[in-house]
Structure formats: C-alpha cells, structure tokens
Amino acid sequence: MKKSNLLIINYAMDIDSQVFSHQIEVVNLLAANFDKVTVLTAHSGKFQVAANVEVTSSNWSEGERVRSLFRFYKSFFRIIFTGNISVIFSHMTSVQSAFTSPLTRAIGIKHYLWYAHTSTNIYFRVSKLFCEGIITSTPGSCPAKGKQIFPIGQAIDSLKFAKKSRRNYPLSKFVHIGRLDPSKNLEEIIEVTNKLRVRNPSITLEIIGSPSSEKHKKYAEELITIFSKEKYSDWVKFTPKISRELIPEVLREKDCFIHSFQGSLDKTIVEATFAGLPVVTINAEYLEIFGTWSDYEAKEEVDLQVEAQLLLELNISTLEAEIEVRHKIAQAHHDLQRWIVNLVSILKNGPSESVKL
C-alpha cells in the first residue's frame, strides 16, 4: 500500500510566535492522518511535534531574499527527491508556494496553498496558476473565486476556547488582541471606547499585542505614547503579545471584544465568539457570518460606534440569546476538528462536494 507522505511548507515552528504559533498544532493534527509529515519552515524556535514529523528550517530572512531562496531550494529539493512526498500543503506561505508550485506541477505532486487575505499579489497569482487549489477560511477571505477555491472555515479549538458561563453587567471590560499594526485601526478602537465611557465611566480597554515587524515598531511606540497620557492612562492598558495558551484565560476575564480590521476574517474574533464574548467589529466577513448588533442590511457601511452603543443598550436576555446563536454558528463552521477533517479530505482525495463551509 502506497504511503501518504505530506510536506508542509510553513512560516514558523515557534510556540512564542505572535502570529504563527498555531502552525505547530496544525502540523501535529495533520501528522495523525499521514504516515509521515515533513515540515520545511522559514523560522524555527521552541516546538514539540509527533514522532512521525521531521522539521527542517530554511532560516528565511526577508532582508536576504536570494540567500534565503537558495537555502530554501536546497532543503526543498532534498525533501522532494528523498521523501517520497505525495502531497504538499503550503500554510500561509504564498512566497514559497510561488517559487515551488511550477516545479511541483511539472513533476506531478499535488500542491495546495492556505491563503486567507482579501488582497492579492504576484505570489498568490503564481500559486493559483500552478497549485491544485487554494484553501481559505471563508469565501470573502480570498481575492479569487471559482472551483479552485475551497473555504473550510477557521480552526478554533472549542475545548480551549470554552464558552464563558457568566458575564458581568453592564459590559465594562473591553479587550482587543492582535498585532499593533496600522491596519488594525487601534486609534478608532480607543476613541470609540472613550465615547462609550460618557455613559459608563467604568469601561476599560486592554490592547494586547506587539508590532508584527520592525517597520511597524515606530507606529506601535507612538501609539502607546499618545494613549498613555493622563486622559487615557486610567482606563487604557497596553500589554505586549502573550502566548496563545493564555488567550482563552484572558477572554474569560473580559466582557467584550472590540475590533476594527477590515479585511479577511480575523481568527481572534472567532475565538472570542467561541469564548462567549460579544464582538463589536466592522469586519465584513464576520458580519456576514454572525450578524450585527445594528441593521446591517440597511447600511452600506457599519459604524463601530453605533455597533458598540447598540450592544450596550441590549437587555440581558436578548444579549444572551444572541451570544448563544453566534456560538452555535462558530461551532458548526469553525471548529478545529471539522477544519482538520475537511483539510485532510482535500489533501488526500482532492476537492469533493462534501467539503463545504
């Protein structure tokens, strides 16, 4: 019987990574469904993997693209020619996928890319041309449409992000978890929260995260400096990035997740929904799936201030009922185990009618 050997090309095998720590979990869950898994990662740190997993790092450096590509190709060809690879999964690595998918198409190895961004680039377009398919979270989280695009939801561990049993009323402990990057519109989040405090001065906001790269470090420093002044210091708190293991605990201590990123479906707001927190956001993908606190269909653009104010005006029974509805939607479409089943089905058997969001 032919063995099923999977090559995963990912960005980081590091439990301390702010953005990519979950890739370790994905590797181990996939390993339970394949005879052997080889991981070619761009960055390696602290991790634990299953016995049938082998990890190689290319030590990719954005500042040394040519040297990085040489190291990457050296490891890639060694794995391809010695590993008897049956399928390749590029997980959040469109650059590496673009440099390898023409080769894998030529030698007949199936290759799939996970891509969950609304924007496109040359690397994505090359990957789409040569990969068997693009796997994404939701239809609106991918810039391309068609039979080659496979939305399978987000991958949230419902056991870790267990639903909060009791909430404090009125809602006062607001939180945002994510990168300290301009795209997250953190200034708007702070200003909207400040306006909410006119009616409820007990409202506080904790922003948890760090800049994703050196180029955003200055932005983060200026943001913290501005909003650490006396006007904000008694109710705005900045906390550096925390490990993913601590996120469920933080969510259990909060009352509301506030978010202002307009793009693909952010994993953090789905995690908050699993945890039973009401989410205030302008994210179109989230609103399409879970609904709004206002009349979304009657508006061309959702206003974060309006969403937050209407949430706070809901009575307890109405709010609890809506939280339960959203929690069930999250479980039905974004549970980790369902995600893995769908992903494995595509990687082993190709797309089928049974894989639907």
Per-residue pLDDT tens for 24-65?
999 999 999 999 999 999 999 999 999 999 999 999 998 898
State whether residue 14 is helix, strand or coil: coil
What value, to the nearest 5°, has the Cα angle with vertex 102 and ends 97 and 108? Answer: 105
State whether residue 151 is helix, strand or coil: strand
What's the pTM? Answer: 0.90
Q: Does domain 173-334 fall into CATH 3.40.50.2000?
A: yes
pLDDT confidence bin for 354, thresholds 50/70/90: very low
Which CATH code fits 5-154+335-349?
3.40.50.2000
What is the distance between the terminal CA atoms of the chain, rounded to a whole angstrom?
32
State whether residue 298 is helix, strand or coil: helix
Q: To the nearest whole percent, how much of the chain has pLDDT over 70? A: 96
Instruction: Give one word for 256, left, alpha or beta, with left for phi > 0 and alpha for psi -120 to 50.
Output: beta
State whether residue 87 is helix, strand or coil: strand
- Check residue 296 and give its pLDDT: 56
The residues, ordered by sequence, that sit 6+ positions from 162 with a Cβ below 8 Å of its Cβ are: 248, 274, 275
Residue 181 reports pLDDT greater than 90: yes
- Check residue 2 and give its pLDDT: 64
User: 6 and 89 in contact (C-beta within 8 Å)?
Assistant: yes
**Segment 97-102 mean pLDDT:** 98
Distance CA 150, CA 145 (A): 9
pLDDT confidence bin for 193, thresholds 50/70/90: very high
**Segment 224-250 mean pLDDT:** 94
- Check residue 355 and give its pLDDT: 52
Nearest-10 Cα torsion for 329, 333, 334, 339: 160
- Check residue 84 and give its pLDDT: 92
State whether residue 161 is helix, strand or coil: coil
Higher pLDDT, 126 or 166: 126
- Check residue 299 and give its pLDDT: 57
Q: What are phi and psi of 32, to 5 degrees?
A: -70, -10
Handedness of CA 38, 152, 185, 253 (dihedral sign): negative
Residue 357 reports pLDDT greater than 80: no
Kindly provide the b/e burial profile for residues 133-160, where b requires at least 16 CB atoms within 10 angstroms of the residue's own CB. Answer: bbbbbbebbbbeeeeebbbbbbbbbbeb
Kindly provide the b/e burial profile for residues 206-223, where b requires at least 16 CB atoms within 10 angstroms of the residue's own CB. Answer: bbbbbbbeeebeeebeeb
Listing DSSP states for 41-74 in one string gives EEEE-S----TTEEEEE----GGGHHHHHHHHHH
Q: In what order do the strands lie in the sheet with 149-151?
A: 53-57, 36-44, 5-13, 87-91, 110-114, 133-136, 149-151
**Segment 169-178 mean pLDDT:** 96
* Diameter over CA atoms, the chain: 69
Distance CA 273, CA 9 (A): 29
pLDDT confidence bin for 83, thresholds 50/70/90: confident
Q: Which amino acid is at 222?
A: E
- Ranges assigned E (strand) in the chain: 5-13, 36-44, 53-57, 87-91, 110-114, 133-136, 149-151, 173-177, 204-208, 236-239, 256-258, 279-280
Residue 291 reports pLDDT greater than 90: yes
Out of 15-19, 56-60, 243-247, the most confident range is 56-60
Q: To the nearest whole percent, how much of the chain has pLDDT over 90? A: 85
Distance CA 251, CA 240 (A): 16
Average pLDDT, the chain: 93
Q: Give yes or no on whether 5-154+335-349 and 173-334 have one common fold.
A: yes
Predicted confidence (pLDDT) per residue in 304-341, tens digit: 999 999 999 999 999 999 999 999 999 999 999 999 99
- Check residue 1 and give its pLDDT: 53
State whether residue 23 is helix, strand or coil: helix
Using alpha carbons, list the distances in angstroms from residue 47 to 21, 23, 28, 357.
9, 10, 11, 31
Q: Where are the domains of the chain?
A: 5-154+335-349, 173-334
pLDDT confidence bin for 294, thresholds 50/70/90: confident
Distance CA 164, CA 274 (A): 9
